[in-house]
């Protein structure tokens, strides 16, 4: 529990004898603009709408927090939190007409004694008891200590309820894209009461829907809305819905699968899950829909847990999957004729497993997922059909064989799911695959004995297991995600079609990149006005210096109180001198690398020489009465090999005499110097456009804000270092080899976010991704 302002529970304000209990519906509503009379109010007022669950019509009310309370509140509150509001003013709402909310709104000011209590992860039902009791007793205790969720039994559900329930999944469909904006998952659950509840779960993110692997899994739903539909009750996602999924097998770890960042899970929850498991087993509720290939009978529909050996795109609506599960089908199996070139997979392994693998045709909506699979992946195929082939030959009995189809559509939960390697089913599968390999090796030795020439003699000696050799086919990416590794990889078509802003993890190839001339990848960026510009080239700088050196030196400005001046003759030109003005002259000999000098009439070449010796060089020119900086087209400060530029739009250049403030070299740095001179420093940044492509689409993604983290070196260093320039070139050539078919490029996994600019153009940027160490 977070208390926005210290206050004891017994001090809670009571109105008409009732404590006001609100469930927050929306976080900092976007209606803010509409509600605030002046634009600057936005920064001081937070608006949210809350729903009083006690009112039958679920009428939301607007609440405004002002001043410091607004800030504290917005920092601590999240969707679904339970709020206690005290000391508020009840004001007639001017927005009733269009927001259709409660006729009054609440206004809270800290200075007027308003208080907001924010309670995390609570349910209203339980909260009421806890709060009321606490208040009656006048105890100053936190609510969290007593926080407990109340779960409804399925047969006790009533329309209109916002329920917390546990249940065993008896049916489910994988998340699929609905005709609306969200992904949809349909499932049915039951519990010890025998009641059944079908649910329609929606979320714009596929990963946010419950991760159900099989019927028999156990789910926990919080805040699911119960509705009536065609005479039956339905559960539907509502604001604040959250879900946990558990394996339904007795004895397996009670560890929830969820996309929630935080969730409440107690011993009581563990007990409920274990009781449901026990009950499911006793009832023989779930008929195991999974079969081994050796158990398959013709005409059956079943689930298959297997490893992908190879795949081939047959046409637009069908993909061939060659899989094995370590057992051999007892019936003759139809082999799909496919050109070896289209077949993606290791030819040696395909050959090695030819007698034990089966061909599956995945149709229509399943081709999308099938195409994304990599040989070596472990998958569960739901509702696979072992269809008996129509007889063709003269002897109908003998020619019949089984064809495996994953038909189009989603009925009966039909689909494909990639299984994580550490899941129970995969561990079990590996055991079977391992024992199957022994016999397949026996088969190989027979071949050798019989003198049959085979490319596998060599492989037979290889101790490495076939399934791990297959796993290796899932080529590694040249990049590493620094977080979100658990997120499912989204096809690029999703990235393109989902409304921004969104975040995704993707796996693709770099088809091309821009700019091709890599030195142009580094730009100058002004964090103040957010503009980008090219780094001036040597010619541009030389030109500015040349113009400046046309101005004569002014001896009146030499040897002032805060600098000492030394004049040098230019080569063979007596009249053409350059001037160096030294700050902190005593230190020059001792610590030249810490010295700050102002230079006049120098050439680029001379600057390069001077910068090797002196720490900081500021380029100046003389006027009649003072030294001034050069045009900001040139760098105003040189620090070793680094050239610092100022923003022409944002800088308000100050008199050079301000530099007197710099008393010791301890205070010299690019940022302090630029600050004193009123210059807004431009930052060196990478700006590279990568065209990423997978089977579904191509997307132009910028490598920008996190590019330095990605490459693990700084943009400013690249400008100054030929070694790094070379390294950058090598890296880009590795990501996207020139003159090669993009399909042969390495895999590029990254996190990508979409956002739209003011002019509604959607852009994509790479984040939380770095180059892999080994490359």
Partner DNA sequence: GCTTAGGGTTAG
CA–chain centroid gap for 146, Å, is: 35
Distance CA 615, CA 609 (A): 12
What are the tokens at 95? 């927005």
Distance CA 54, CA 58 (A): 8
Is residue 498 a contact residue for DNA (CB under 7 A)?
A: no
* CB closer to DNA out of 236 and 719: 236
The one-character DSSP state at 313 is E
The least CB distance from residue 27 to DNA, in Å, is: 12
Distance CA 182, CA 179 (A): 8
Q: Which stretch binds DNA (CB under 7 A): 77-85, 244-252, 338-346, 383-391?
A: 383-391
Pick one of 14, 43, 229, 568: the residue that binds DNA (CB under 7 A): 229
What are the tokens at 171? 């049916």
Pick one of 127, 222, 223, 234: the residue that binds DNA (CB under 7 A): 234
The least CB distance from residue 359 to DNA, in Å, is: 13
Is residue 297 a contact residue for DNA (CB under 7 A)?
A: no
Count of C-beta atoms within a 10 Å radius of residue 296: 21
Residue from 304, 261, 648 nearest 486 by CA = 261
Distance CA 181, CA 204 (A): 7
Could you give the count of Cα atoms lying within 13 Å of 732 in the half-sphere of its Cβ? Answer: 23
The least CB distance from residue 430 to DNA, in Å, is: 28
The pattern of x and - marking residues 447 through 486 that bind DNA according to CB under 7 A reads ----------------------------------------
The least CB distance from residue 214 to DNA, in Å, is: 14
The least CB distance from residue 409 to DNA, in Å, is: 5
Is residue 363 a contact residue for DNA (CB under 7 A)?
A: yes
* CB closer to DNA out of 225 and 644: 225
Residues 712 and 770: beta-carbon distance below 8 Å: yes
* CB closer to DNA out of 96 and 724: 96
* CB closer to DNA out of 503 and 745: 503
Distance CA 719, CA 619 (A): 20
Is residue 288 a contact residue for DNA (CB under 7 A)?
A: no
Q: Is the Cα torsion angle 230, 236, 238, 240 positive or negative in sign?
A: positive
Is residue 198 a contact residue for DNA (CB under 7 A)?
A: yes
| Number of chain residues interacting with DNA (CB under 7 A) | 37
Inter-CA distances, 51 with 29, 224, 295, 545, Å:
13, 15, 54, 68
Q: Which residue's structure tokens are 């089908």?
A: 329
List Cβ neighbours of 299 (8 Å cut-off, separation of 6 or more): 386, 387, 388
* CB closer to DNA out of 414 and 680: 414
Q: Which stretch binds DNA (CB under 7 A): 175-183, 523-531, 668-676, 716-724?
A: 175-183
Pick one of 13, 263, 301, 443: the residue that binds DNA (CB under 7 A): 301
Q: Which stretch binds DNA (CB under 7 A): 232-240, 445-453, 500-508, 657-665?
A: 232-240
Distance CA 241, CA 163 (A): 10
Q: Which stretch binds DNA (CB under 7 A): 105-113, 198-206, 545-553, 765-773?
A: 198-206
The least CB distance from residue 499 to DNA, in Å, is: 6
* CB closer to DNA out of 10 and 34: 34
Q: Which stretch binds DNA (CB under 7 A): 88-96, 180-188, 577-585, 748-756?
A: 180-188
Q: How many helices (H) and strands (E) does the chain have?
A: 19, 38
Is residue 387 a contact residue for DNA (CB under 7 A)?
A: yes
Pick one of 170, 346, 494, 674: the residue that binds DNA (CB under 7 A): 170
Is residue 290 a contact residue for DNA (CB under 7 A)?
A: no
Pick one of 134, 164, 410, 731: the residue that binds DNA (CB under 7 A): 410
List Cβ neighbours of 248 (8 Å cut-off, separation of 6 or more): 168, 169, 214, 216, 217, 218, 276, 277, 280, 286
Q: Please give the full DSSP string across 597-658, using - where no structure is assigned.
A: EEEES--HHHHHHHHHH-SEEEEEEE-SS-EEEPPTTS-SEEETTEEE-B-TTT--PPPGGG
Is residue 186 a contact residue for DNA (CB under 7 A)?
A: yes
Is residue 337 a contact residue for DNA (CB under 7 A)?
A: no
Q: Please give the full DSSP string across 33-99, using - where no structure is assigned.
A: HHH-SSGGGGGTEEEEEEE-TTSTT--EEEEEEEHHHHHHHHHH--TT-EEEEESPEEEE-TTHHHH
Q: Which stretch binds DNA (CB under 7 A): 104-112, 184-192, 256-264, 691-699?
A: 184-192
* CB closer to DNA out of 101 and 507: 101
Pick one of 58, 499, 516, 712: the residue that binds DNA (CB under 7 A): 499
Is residue 412 a contact residue for DNA (CB under 7 A)?
A: yes
Is residue 178 a contact residue for DNA (CB under 7 A)?
A: yes
Is residue 188 a contact residue for DNA (CB under 7 A)?
A: yes
Is residue 364 a contact residue for DNA (CB under 7 A)?
A: yes
* CB closer to DNA out of 276 and 386: 386
Pick one of 64, 84, 117, 202: the residue that binds DNA (CB under 7 A): 202
Residue 492 pairs with which residues in a beta bridge? none
SS3 749: strand
Instruction: Please report, as ranges, the residues that interact with DNA according to CB under 7 A.
Output: 30, 170-171, 173, 178-182, 184, 186, 188, 198, 200, 202, 227, 229, 234, 236-237, 301, 317-318, 363-364, 383, 385, 387, 405, 407-412, 414, 499
């Amino acid at each position: 529990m977070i208390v926005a302002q210290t206050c004891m529970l017994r001090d809670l304000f009571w109105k008409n004898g009732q404590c006001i209990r609100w469930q927050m519906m929306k976080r900092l509503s976007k209606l803010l603009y509409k509600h605030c009379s002046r634009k600057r109010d936005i920064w001081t007022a937070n608006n949210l709408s809350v729903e009083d669950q006690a009112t039958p019509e679920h009428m939301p009310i607007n609440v405004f927090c002002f001043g410091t309370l607004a800030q504290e509140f917005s920092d601590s509150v999240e969707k679904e939190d339970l709020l206690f509001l005290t000391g508020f003013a009840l004001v007639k709402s001017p927005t009733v007409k269009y927001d259709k909310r409660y006729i009054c709104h609440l206004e809270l000011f800290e200075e007027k004694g308003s208080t907001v209590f924010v309670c995390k992860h609570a349910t209203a039902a339980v909260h009421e008891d806890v709060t009321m009791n606490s208040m009656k007793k006048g105890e100053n205790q936190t609510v969290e200590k007593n926080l407990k969720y109340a779960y409804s039994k399925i047969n006790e559900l009533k329309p209109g309820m916002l329920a917390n329930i546990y249940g065993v999944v008896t049916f489910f469909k994988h998340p699929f894209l609905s005709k609306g904006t969200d992904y949809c998952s349909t499932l049915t659950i039951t519990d010890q009461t025998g009641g059944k509840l079908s649910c329609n779960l929606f979320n714009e993110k596929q990963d946010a829907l419950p991760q159900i692997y099989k019927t028999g899994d156990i789910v926990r739903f919080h805040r699911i809305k119960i509705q009536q539909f065609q005479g039956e009750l339905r559960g539907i996602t509502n604001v604040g819905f959250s879900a946990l999924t558990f394996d339904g097998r007795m004895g397996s770890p009670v560890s929830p699968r969820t996309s929630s960042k935080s969730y409440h899970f107690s011993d009581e929850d563990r007990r409920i899950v274990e009781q449901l498991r026990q009950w499911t087993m006793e009832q023989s509720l779930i008929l195991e829909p999974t079969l081994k290939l050796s158990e398959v009978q013709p005409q059956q529909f079943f689930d298959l847990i297997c490893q992908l050996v190879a795949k081939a795109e047959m046409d637009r609506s069908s993909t061939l999957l060659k899989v094995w599960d370590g057992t051999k089908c007892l019936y003759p199996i139809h082999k799909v004729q496919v050109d070896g070139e289209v077949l993606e997979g290791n030819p040696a392994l395909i050959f090695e497993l030819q007698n034990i693998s089966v061909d599956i045709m995945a149709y229509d909506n399943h081709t999308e997922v099938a195409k994304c699979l990599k040989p070596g992946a472990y998958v569960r195929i739901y509702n696979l059909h072992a269809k008996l082939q129509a007889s063709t030959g003269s002897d109908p009995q003998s020619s019949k064989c089984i064809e495996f189809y994953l038909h189009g559509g989603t009925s009966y939960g039909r689909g494909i799911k990639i299984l994580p390697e550490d899941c129970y089913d995969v561990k079990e599968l590996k055991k079977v695959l391992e024992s199957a390999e022994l016999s397949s090796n026996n088969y190989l030795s027979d071949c050798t004995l019989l003198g049959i020439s085979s490319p596998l003699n060599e492989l037979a000696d290889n101790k490495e297991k076939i399934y791990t050799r297959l796993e290796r086919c899932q080529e590694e990416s040249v990049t590493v995600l620094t977080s979100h590794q658990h997120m499912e990889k989204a096809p690029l078509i999703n990235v393109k079609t989902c409304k921004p802003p969104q975040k995704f993890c993707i796996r693709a190839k770099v088809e091309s990149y821009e700019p091709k001339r890599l030195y142009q990848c580094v730009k100058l960026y002004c964090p103040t006005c957010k503009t980008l510009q090219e780094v001036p080239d040597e010619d541009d700088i030389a030109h500015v210096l040349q113009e400046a050196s046309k101005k004569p030196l002014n001896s009146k400005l030499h040897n002032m109180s805060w600098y000492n001046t030394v004049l040098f003759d230019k080569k063979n030109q007596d009249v053409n001198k350059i001037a160096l003005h030294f700050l902190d002259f005593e230190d020059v000999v001792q610590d030249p690398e810490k010295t700050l000098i102002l230079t006049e009439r120098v050439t680029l070449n001379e600057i390069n020489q001077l910068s090797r010796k002196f720490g900081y060089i500021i380029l100046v020119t003389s006027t009649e009465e003072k030294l001034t900086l050069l045009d900001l087209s040139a760098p105003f400060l040189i620090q070793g090999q680094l050239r610092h530029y100022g923003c022409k739009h944002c800088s308000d250049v100050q008199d050079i005499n301000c530099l007197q403030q710099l008393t010791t070299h301890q205070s010299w740095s690019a940022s302090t110097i630029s600050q004193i001179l009123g210059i807004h420093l431009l930052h060196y940044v990478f700006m590279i456009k990568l065209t990423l492509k997978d089977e579904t689409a191509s997307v132009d993604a910028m490598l920008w804000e996190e590019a330095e983290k990605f490459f693990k070196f700084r943009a400013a260093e690249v400008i100054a270092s030929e070694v790094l320039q070379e390294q950058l070139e090598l890296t880009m050539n590795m990501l996207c080899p020139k003159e090669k078919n993009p399909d042969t490029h390495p895999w590029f996994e990254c996190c990508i976010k979409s956002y739209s600019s003011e002019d509604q153009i959607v852009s994509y940027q790479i984040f939380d991704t770095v180059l892999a160490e080994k490359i």
